[in-house]
Each structure stands twice: as C-alpha cells, then as structure tokens.
Amino acid sequence: MIVVACPGQGSQTPGFLSPWLELPGVAEQLAAYSEAAEVDLLLHGTESDADTIRDTRIAQPLIVAASLITAQVLTERAGRRADGVAGHSVGELAAVVGAGVIDATDAMRLVGIRGRAMADAAAQTPTGMSAVLGGDEEAVLARLAELDLTPANYNVAGQIVAAGALPALAELAAEPVRGSRVMPLQVAGAFHTAYMAPAVETLREAVTGVATSDPEIALWSNRDGARVTDGADALARIVTQVSSPVRWDLCMASFAQDGITGFIEVAPAGALVGMAKRGLRGVPNVAVKTPDDLDAAVALLNGEAA
C-alpha cells in the first residue's frame, strides 16, 4: 500500500512553484485555482517573499494548490492513483480531493475561506505556536496544562506543538521541561485550539451544499488517525479540525498498522517525510519538492523502488 501525504502550513518557501510552471497546463490550472480561492497563486508562488507567503490567507491556498497539482501530475505519470491519502492540517483539503470526496474547485474555494477565517480569528487575540522537541511526553503535557497552553499538534514521538497566549509561550521557552527545547513557529495564531472557534462556524456555513462522495481510496483523518469511509463525515471532520489538535502521530500509527509499503509527500514537501523517517522506519519514502522528484515517486508508486 502506497500512501500520498499532503503537507500543512509552514511548508511553503519563496518561489517554490516556479519549476512546476514549466509543466504543460500548470499555469492555467493555477489561474483557475486562484479564482476559486480569491488569491493570486501565480504571483505568490513565484515572486512573493517569505513574510508575504507566511500570511495565513495566502499560505493555505498556496499549499493546497501545490499539493493538488503535484498529485495530479504524479497520477498521470504513474498511470494510477496511490492506495491511500492523508493530509496534515490544511493538507487534509487536498487529501479529500485525492480520495474523490470533493472536487478541486470546491477545495480551493473552501481553503480560501478557511485561510481568511483563521486569520481573522487569530487577529482577535495575540497568540502563537511553538514546537516542543524532546522531553518526557507526560511532563510536557503537564507543563502545557500548567501554563494554559494547548497541545495543538502531536506530530511524532518527541514532537508536540504548543499553542496559546504569547506570554505563556514565552514562559515555556524560558523554563522548558527538562530534556526538551522550545522552538517558536512563524504562524499568525494558535491554530487547532479553541481560539479558532469563530473560523469553525465560518467554515461550517461554507461547506453547506458542497457535494461529497464516499472515498474511493483509503483516507485517514488527522483528527484521530481513523480511516474515514463516509464522504460527508470526511468533510465534517475538516470543519471541526480547525479548532481540534492535529494527531499526525495517530495517522502514522494507522499507516503502520495497515501495512503501508511506501510514503510519498507531495509539494511543498519535506516536513512529513522527515517525520516518516522517524515514525515509519524502514518504509521507503519520497518528498516531491520539484518536478525532478517525480521519477522517484512514480517508481515507488509503481513498485519499481525497493
């Protein structure tokens, strides 16, 4: 079983879409996605600087568009889809398209709304996120509770992302749990926490009337790592995950339990493959960052790579 993984916010880098525009039809596809999301993806994927594309309103549509394009090109070249798909945070919108639950235009419209709603929610109260690397997990969680911080992402063993008020995050960094280090993340607010409740309501209204189909391939939810078999449920989970922790650790546990034999991360790739190397030891993986990585991904998808 080969799994395609779609990355979340923070994986974008300036100009990362430029090499993809050399492929036939990609510029036209990006133009259509830009219209749906109400964001100039051509501009921001090629010319905008790091600060600009860090903006939640821009970053989220940019990442989902890149994943959709990469997955489509990979499928066309391989002559088949992957056996399963999952997405980290906003990457779940690309994942449900890959599973055939909703179409790409609806996904791009929703991610545009999601990005704007989350940015607006973040602007109400100064909050942030920090990665806690290492340390005993129980001790880390106890320290977060003590500071009224939320464990927003469980990425892999030894890596939890804390989210909440900026003074509390500063206190965590000043006095970390023994054996851990705290790394502030360049995000606009405490995503996947109760601070995002207004964005949940906006997105819940936005998905009304969106046509869904049941997944055509395996689809795992980053809310709890469960396999999702109902299309309406998959879309409902995307709404509620805006204010719920991302359990990528449980997704990887499910991948292992289901016996995956290969892991491909679509653009803008790198972070999830890094986690897979730790959490899925021995499973071949490919990070598709540029079109030059497609041959390796096609080989893995078609069983030609060890």
- Which amino acids are annotated catalytic? 89, 192
Scanning 82-230, the segments in alpha helix (DSSP H) are 91-98, 104-124, 137-146, 166-174, 197-206
Enter the tokens of residue 207. 């998905």
CA angle 300, 81, 281 (to 5 degrees): 40
Supply 93's token pair.
């919108």
Residue 218's φ and ψ, nearest 5 degrees, are -60, 135
Would you call 268 helix, strand, or coil by DSSP? coil
| Nearest CA among 57, 56, 61 for reference residue 45 | 61
Give the integer Cα–Cα distance in Å for 105 and 1: 28
Quick one: tokens of 104? 């790409």
Q: For residue 30, how many C-alpha atoms fall within 13 Å in the half-sphere facing its CB?
A: 22
CA–CA gap between residue 252 and residue 272 (Å, rounded): 10
Q: Which two tokens stand for residue 77?
A: 């070249």
Q: Taking each helix axis from N to C terminus, what angle separates 231-240 and 91-98, rounded to the nearest 10 degrees? A: 170
CA-closest candidate to residue 95, choices 1, 228, 197, 186:
228
- Pairing between β-strand 159-165 and β-strand 150-156 as defined by DSSP bridges: antiparallel
The helix (H) or strand (E) run that includes residue 42 is helix 41-46
